Amino acid sequence: MTNLTTIIMAAGKGTRMKSTRPKVLQPLAGKPLLQHVLTTAKKLGSQKNIIIYGFEGRQVKDAFANESIDWVEQAEQLGTGHAVQMALPVLPTDGKSLILSGDVPLIGVDTLEKLSNTDSRFAMLTINIANPFGLGRIVRKDGKVIAIVEEKDATDTQKQISEINSGVYCVDNAILHNYLKNLNNNNAQGEYYLTDIVKMAVDDGIEIATVSPTYQFEIEGVNDRIQLANLERTWQAHQAENLMKQGVHIIDPSRFDLRGTLTVGRDVEIDINVIIEGDCTFGDNVKIGAGCVIKNSHIASGTVVQPYSLFDNAVVGEQNQIGTFSRLRPNAVTAKDVHIGNFVELKNTQMADGAKANHLAYLGDSTVGERTNIGAGTITANYDGVNKFKTTIGNDVSVGSNVVLVAPVTLGDKVTVGAGSTITKDVAEDKLVVARGRQTVIDGWVRPVKEKK
């Protein structure tokens, strides 16, 4: 909707976290709790995002320094009503505001769209749950909301109500400007409660609309490490379920972590303890072995990634064989039918169709031609302590084991490099090059032995 403001309460310390970091900076699915809420607000098209900060506010502001945010300080934490009061000086007088909490990270875009698009000037998110103990109950008369009653104030009859208040609202800004200034703290806690504006609206004859979330976890907050861990597993199970509905074969959803987004083709298979971070794409028939960590990478169809491989900003072509224990660092790019084997590392290296590096190699700042084979133990020495240099290897090259290619250096097509060589100069195509000391046997040499005491 147009003229939508989002107010996010993020001032709490989170004492039960036992942390030097504010609660809203604790991570869930690889991102701070507050980042989840802010990302959702931006997806809604919120024109103005107000964040109310408090404990360790500098940490919070620094973490979101690149975002367009109106920061408002709540120096003293005197309740939810007091928090939103702090936003009044920067709150527009027209339009509506969504009021969210920075420690309730998984509220869905669809849910908030329904909430913000009601015809009412005052809407709130409620849900029926099996065990509402400790939560504010929604009291209705003739189907209309007339009050929110907290657990400690509820009668026995009211305690049987299963509909609870989530603490998420969408309210006309004019109402907020009018009601928030009239809040008082005449209660046992000495705090200003946001829920009091519900009673004010009812007294003024404003009908309150209610919307329910699709999933209960959307309104679950985080107060300690146990709740954080439980919500993490709930969210991961939800993401795994969505992927399985798309046809992904996840071997064990309880041992799967998606900390970003994953776009998949058909018949993708993901083994246990795989972690996927950032934005990733897997093509048809991709298989990911156990224990892999894949970040911001794209893997084309038919590729098999063996266990315990690490990808970071890599682009992998079709029908590749990768791993085990391989590492593809930023700007590692492989074409079709490439083999990257055990304990092989690529950094800023491009490998053409059919190229292979199957064992114990490091290729940095390199290009490797078609059908070229890199022997075990081979490295490109790309760094002189100050600058990085490039190694260029042509097509159909055979590089023996334990070779050092000292960049900058170029090997032409069909070059053969003898095992154990250190290559410092360019080699023309079709040549055999050997650069190593001649084997010598030293007659009369005796290995030292320890003297017996």
CATH number of the domain to which 233 belongs: 2.160.10.10
Domain assignment present for 445: no
Whether 152 and 56 map to the same domain: the answer is yes
Cα angle, residue 129 at apex, residues 123 and 130 outer, rounded to 5° = 160
Does residue 137 surpass a pLDDT of 70?
yes
* Over residues 112-125, mean pLDDT: 96
| Boundary (domain end) residue, out of 219, 237, 263 | 219
User: What percent of the chain has pLDDT above 70?
Assistant: 100
**CATH number of the domain residue 88 falls in:** 3.90.550.10
Whether 154 and 237 map to the same domain: the answer is no
Provide the residue range defining the domain that includes 192: 4-219
What mean pLDDT value characterizes the chain?
A: 95
pLDDT 10s digits, 25-79: 999 999 999 999 999 999 999 999 999 999 899 999 999 999 999 999 999 889 9
Domain assignment present for 446: no
Does residue 5 surpass a pLDDT of 70?
yes
Whether 329 and 414 map to the same domain: the answer is yes
Whether 77 and 213 map to the same domain: the answer is yes
Whether 117 and 208 map to the same domain: the answer is yes
For the chain, the three-class secondary structure string (H helix, E strand, C coil) is: CCCEEEEEEECCCCHHHCCCCCHHHCEECCEEHHHHHHHHHHHCCCCEEEEEECCCHHHHHHHCCCCCCEEEECCCCCCHHHHHHCCHHHCCCCCEEEEEECCCCCCCHHHHHHHHCCCCCEEEEEEECCCCCCCCEEEEECCEEEEEECHHHCCCCHHHCCEEEEEEEEEEHHHHHHHHHHCCCCCCCCCCCCCHHHHHHHHCCCCCEEECCCCHHHHCCCCCHHHHHHHHHHHHHHHHHHHHHCCCEECCHHHEEEEEEEEECCCCEECCCEEEEEEEEECCCCEECCCCEEECCEECCCCEECCCCEEECCEECCCCEECCCCEECCCCEECCCCEEEECCEEEEEEECCCCEEEECCEEEEEEECCCCEECCCCEEECECCCCECCEEECCCCEECCCCEEECCEEECCCCEECCCCEECCCECCCCEECCCCCCCCCCCCCCCCCCCC
- Confidence tier at 1 by pLDDT (50, 70, 90): low
Domain assignment present for 439: no
pLDDT 10s digits, 202-240: 999 999 999 999 999 999 999 999 999 999 999 999 999
* Over residues 78-83, mean pLDDT: 93
Whether 313 and 410 map to the same domain: the answer is yes
- So what's the pLDDT on residue 452? 83
Domain assignment present for 441: no
* Full-model pTM: 0.90
- Confidence tier at 398 by pLDDT (50, 70, 90): very high
* Over residues 423-451, mean pLDDT: 92
With CA atoms as reference, report the closest residue to 145 among 95, 205, 193.
205
What is the number of structural domains in the chain? 2
Task: Please give the Cα distance from 401 to 389 (Å, whole number).
Answer: 22
pLDDT 10s digits, 414-433: 999 999 999 999 999 999 99
Does residue 257 surpass a pLDDT of 80?
yes
- So what's the pLDDT on residue 191? 87
Domain assignment present for 21: yes
Residue 36 is among the residues annotated as catalytic for this protein: no
Domain assignment present for 442: no
| Boundary (domain end) residue, out of 219, 253, 283 | 219
* Torsion angle defined by CA atoms of residues 432, 438, 441 and 445, in that order, rounded to the nearest 10 degrees: -140
Whether 208 and 257 map to the same domain: the answer is no
Domain assignment present for 31: yes
Does residue 151 surpass a pLDDT of 70?
yes
Whether 236 and 212 map to the same domain: the answer is no
Whether 383 and 327 map to the same domain: the answer is yes
Whether 204 and 244 map to the same domain: the answer is no
Does residue 342 surpass a pLDDT of 90?
yes
Q: How many CB atoms lie within 10 A of CB 71?
A: 15
Task: Please give the Cα distance from 127 to 140 (Å, whole number).
Answer: 13
| Boundary (domain end) residue, out of 184, 219, 254 | 219
Whether 320 and 349 map to the same domain: the answer is yes
| Angle, in degrees to the nearest 10, between helices 33-43 and 109-116 | 50
User: What percent of the chain has pLDDT above 90?
Assistant: 91
Whether 335 and 396 map to the same domain: the answer is yes
Could you tell me which residues come within 8 angstroms of residue 228 by beta carbon, excluding any fewer than 6 positions away?
Answer: 17, 26, 28, 222
- Confidence tier at 150 by pLDDT (50, 70, 90): confident
Domain assignment present for 444: no
